[in-house]
Amino acid sequence: MPRGQFDKILSETAASMGVDVQHEMAVKDIKFHGTDSITTVVNKEGVEEQIGAKFIVDASGYGRVIPRMFGLDKPSNFDPRKTHFTHFKDLKRPEGIDGNRITVVVHQQRTWIWIIPFSNGITSVGFVADPQFFKDYPEDAVERMRGIINSDVHTKERFGDAEMVFEPRTIEGYAISTKQLYGDGFVLCGNATEFLDPVFSSGVTFAMESGNKAAKLVIETLKGNTVDWQKDYTDYMMQGINTFRSYVSGWYEGDLHEIFFSENPDPEIKKQICSVLAGYVWDLENPFVKKHERALKSLANVIRLNKQKSVSNFFCY
Ligand SMILES: Cc1cc2nc3c(=O)[nH]c(=O)nc-3n(C[C@H](O)[C@H](O)[C@H](O)COP(=O)(O)OP(=O)(O)OC[C@H]3O[C@@H](n4cnc5c(N)ncnc54)[C@H](O)[C@@H]3O)c2cc1C
């Protein structure tokens, strides 16, 4: 679904439950006094206001308010990548179920395209690649998008002459991490913690899960109950984040391509891997969650070995 619509539902639902929601207000400063804090916000007319809080849940996404203000940012261990994306009026969308599918096109080994159809007939299309990939295309955002679209047979056919809804945008070096997920009087949620990669769309899963988890723990803390933030928040969230991290690495290093495009996949293994990619990254009964890194690498190696064997058998005959 379109992101604006999703955010509006969340914000209106929170407001209907008694939350004071204010728009177009930016956090400018936070001062902690023990676990209590005073936050200075400013509206678009430049008027400042101060808000006292017993606990702050920082869900500021790429704004990364607390990590930036208190030096908690940590570089990601992923190579920097770049994305160029827009929304198209999707007049050539396939009929039936195929038209509703999210498609990931492998353009080249480390370059891929997302095609995400929305219910309103608009489709999000984005290219993700190493930054040097884009150097072969024009600087102008629209020309660049047309050039890349036309370089790929799948996207050219469907979007070659489609109308763009907004001028394509570029985001670069978006993978980022943080030194800690909580501290005295605050907790970080969603992208304010760590953002891995747009592949497999894990961002909203983590934003929802961390927000939900943090809210419950904050309530316990404010009731005066003892909360083990390390175990119940950081360790829990990192279990999910690290599982997805193995899949993102496996995607760019080629292990996942080996697995996805293997012939006659084992149906049970396929189910287990699909479950991970659907967001069940806390299901420790699934071996592809429990031993995520090793399981993926081993499976890819077995597939490679089998391929070599069948090639050598072919030459023996
Ligand atoms: C190119 C790209 C494509 C993606 N595609 C998908 C996808 O298809 N599916 C998916 O699940 N995820 C996707 N993601 C990831 C997803 O967008 C994020 O993971 C998700 O939005 C994180 O939610 P959040 O609530 O943490 O932060 P955000 O959604 O970024 O919300 C942060 C909010 O904080 C506000 N804010 C920031 N700074 C301040 C400040 N100083 N004062 C006040 N307010 C502030 C912002 O205005 C914003 O409203 C994609 C990400 C990228 C980069």
**Model pLDDT for residues 118-131, shown as the tens digit of each residue:** 999 999 999 999 99
Q: State how far the alpha carbon of 2 is from the alpha carbons of 8, 87, 120, 121, 311, in Å.
A: 10, 10, 8, 10, 47
* Residue 183 one-letter amino acid: G
Question: Is pLDDT at 311 greater than 70 in this prediction?
Answer: no
What is the spatial distance between Cα 310 and Cα 44, in angstroms, rounded to a whole number? 66
Question: Is pLDDT at 259 greater than 90 in this prediction?
Answer: yes
Residue 162 Cα to chain centre, angstroms: 26
In the DSSP assignment, the letter for residue 91 is T
In the DSSP assignment, the letter for residue 80 is P
Residue 134: name the closest of 168, 93, 101 by CA. Answer: 168
Select from 169, 204, 210 the residue to mutate for testing ligand 1; criterion: most ligand atoms less than 8 Å from CB. 204
Residue nearest ligand 1's atom 29 by CA:
61
**Residues 10-29: tens digit of each pLDDT:** 999 999 999 999 999 999 99
CB-CB neighbours of 55 under 10 Å: 17
- Token pair 């803390």 is found at 221
Could you give all domains of the chain from N- to C-terminal order, each with its CATH number?
3-76+179-245 (3.50.50.60), 82-172 (3.30.9.100), 247-316 (no CATH)
Are 124 and 85 in contact, with CB atoms under 8 Å apart? yes
What is the spatial distance between Cα 165 and Cα 223, in angstroms, rounded to a whole number? 48
Tokens of 198: 């747009």
For residue 186, the SS3 value is strand
What is the spatial distance between Cα 40 and Cα 35, in angstroms, rounded to a whole number? 16
Residue 48, Cβ density class (10 Å: 0-12 exposed, 13-18 middle, ≥19 buried): exposed
Q: State how far the alpha carbon of 91 is from the alpha carbons of 3, 97, 105, 123, 244, in Å.
A: 20, 16, 19, 10, 34
The larger pLDDT score, comparing residue 227 to residue 306, is at: 227
Residues with CB under 6 A from ligand 1: 26-27, 59-63, 65, 83, 85, 116, 126, 171, 174, 190-192, 195, 198, 201, 203-204, 207
Question: Is pLDDT at 315 greater than 60 in this prediction?
Answer: no
**Residues 216-248: tens digit of each pLDDT:** 999 999 999 999 999 999 999 999 999 999 999
Residue 29: name the closest of 81, 88, 69 by CA. Answer: 69
